[in-house]
Amino acid sequence: MDTAGKVIKCKAAVLWEPRQPLKIEGIEVAPPKAHEVRIKIVATGICRSDDHITEGLMKNSKYPVILGHEAAGIVESIGDGVTAVKPGDKVIPLFLPHCGECRGCTEPKSNLCHKADLGKHNGLMSDNTSRFTCNGKLIHNFLNTSTFTEYTVVEEMSVVKIHDDAPLDQVCLIGCGFSTGYGSAVNLAKVEPGSTCAVFGLGGIGLSVIIGCKVAGASRIIAIDVNSKKFEKAKLLGATECINPKDYENPIHEVIQKLTNGGVHYSFECIGNTDIMVSAILSSHLSCGTAVIVGVAPSGSILSFPSRLFLTGRALKGGLFGGFRGKENVPQLVSDVMAEKFKLDELLSHKLPFSEINKGFDMLRNGESIRTVLKF
């Protein structure tokens, strides 16, 4: 049946009010307007930033809302003027768009397009309307993507075509978690062969940092987590040592300083905890170390540390989506997966039917899962 130009009725997970479970609803998805693309979502991952109970990045979202920003799918139809993709193309939605015109897009070293919804929570398309309704009520979108739905509409700037043979169940992780961690090692830190690394937090992000450190040729990768169950996978992916701070009386940075005779070249905070951000700084070598902040701490939280920590030459970095520019870099990352440069199936711990999305969130919160991918 040709659905182009028609309203599509489908299933979506709607968050009606703050901190409530998601509700699977029948919704209506309007056809794409000019420069918009309607996508059939094939697989979507559950990322921390979608967590509506602990309220990471989705705090301050408008309600009701359809969350989700890590996915892969197939273009169903396109609006007038769209040239980047055509119906039938395999695509990944981009929560960091690329308008190509703003200061963020024209600076080659920046990946933060000013049209990103991140931190603004406008929750609407560029023309200030939504393509989603449920029983006649407007539903907002999230991070320019909204992937917890069978069909979504995104702007052309927020979608990129990938290889026709890409395994969508796996490469959906390139839409956020994998790229964020992997890029933090290879783009933000620029880990070098023979260097030493410490990775704090072994969720999907931290494990992806480990993959990046290994690909970059690090000689030591020290993995740190309060949950020792995470160590087996960390080792499988390239960690050379695993440390549980609970096993030590001394602060964890002292343990790492001692282990490495003065600190690591690169440390990564992948938890979103300001105390651990300071631990990551203190674990890095005082004159040639770099600490990379990957985790998102609660909004408004302040990171404070003695100013002299940087006098000696240390560096502190941060970044979103591992510094990748989605339109330019995502197709290559997909091809790298297909060429088995790295394996995403180790990160993909669980697969669930879409209807069990709330169970997927529970498993992320209690540490049972690394990444759950939902299938429609």
Binding site for Zn ion (CB under 5 A): 47, 49, 99, 102, 105, 113, 176
Centroid of chain to Cα 174: 8
Smaller CB separation from Zn ion, 47 or 197: 47
Any catalytic annotation for residue 69? Answer: yes
**Quick one: which H or E segment has residue 151?**
strand 151-155
Name which position in 47, 139, 199, 363 contacts ligand COD (CB under 6 A): 47
**Does 295 interact with ligand COD (rule: CB under 6 A)?**
yes
Q: Which does 230 bind (CB under 5 to 8 A by kind): Zn ion, ligand COD, none?
A: ligand COD
Site for ligand COD in 170-209 (CB under 6 A): 176-177, 180, 200-206
Smaller CB separation from Zn ion, 47 or 216: 47
CA 42, CA 1: separation in Å to the nearest integer? 18
Any catalytic annotation for residue 163? Answer: no
**The pair of three-digit structure tokens given for residue 121, joined into one six-digit string:** 């929570």
Q: Give the other-Cβ count within 10 Å of 214's Cβ.
A: 18
Any catalytic annotation for residue 270? Answer: no
CA 30, CA 189: separation in Å to the nearest integer? 42
Beta strands in 177-322 (DSSP E): 196-200, 220-224, 241-243, 266-269, 290-293, 315-318
**Does 286 interact with ligand COD (rule: CB under 6 A)?**
no
Q: Out of 99, 113, 172, 176, pick the active-site residue.
A: 176
Burial of 168: CB neighbours in 10 Å, binned 0-12, 13-18, 19+? buried
Query: Partners of 221 in the beta sheet?
Result: 197
CA 210, CA 195: separation in Å to the nearest integer? 13
Type of residue numbered 354: F
Q: Which does 320 bind (CB under 5 to 8 A by kind): Zn ion, ligand COD, none?
A: ligand COD
One symbol per residue from 87 to 126: x for binding ligand COD (CB under 6 A), - otherwise; what is it? --------x-------------------------------
Q: Out of 35, 61, 69, 279, pick the active-site residue.
A: 69
Query: Partners of 269 in the beta sheet?
Result: 200, 293
Three-state DSSP state, 47 = coil
In whole angstroms, how close is the CB of 341 to Zn ion at the nearest point?
A: 22
Q: Tell which residue, 276, 318, 281, 284, has the closest CA to residue 184.
A: 318
CA 296, CA 319: separation in Å to the nearest integer? 10
Q: Give the other-Cβ count within 10 Å of 183's Cβ.
A: 25
In whole angstroms, how close is the CB of 252 to Zn ion at the nearest point?
A: 26
**Does 320 interact with ligand COD (rule: CB under 6 A)?**
yes
Any catalytic annotation for residue 176? Answer: yes
Smaller CB separation from ligand COD, 91 or 205: 205
Type of residue numbered 146: S
In whole angstroms, how close is the CB of 300 to ligand COD at the nearest point?
A: 15
Q: Which does 185 bind (CB under 5 to 8 A by kind): Zn ion, ligand COD, none?
A: none
Q: Which does 245 bind (CB under 5 to 8 A by kind): Zn ion, ligand COD, none?
A: ligand COD
In whole angstroms, how close is the CB of 221 to ligand COD at the nearest point?
A: 15
Smaller CB separation from ligand COD, 8 or 71: 71
Any catalytic annotation for residue 49? Answer: yes
Using the contact rule CB under 6 A, the part of the chain among 33-41, 46-54, 253-261, 307-315 near ligand COD is 46-54
Q: Which does 296 bind (CB under 5 to 8 A by kind): ligand COD, Zn ion, none?
A: ligand COD
**Quick one: which H or E segment has residue 333?**
helix 326-338
In whole angstroms, how close is the CB of 248 to Zn ion at the nearest point?
A: 31
Q: Tell which residue, 97, 71, 78, 91, has the closest CA to residue 163.
A: 91
CA 283, CA 275: separation in Å to the nearest integer? 12
Active-site amino acid positions: 47, 49, 52, 69, 176
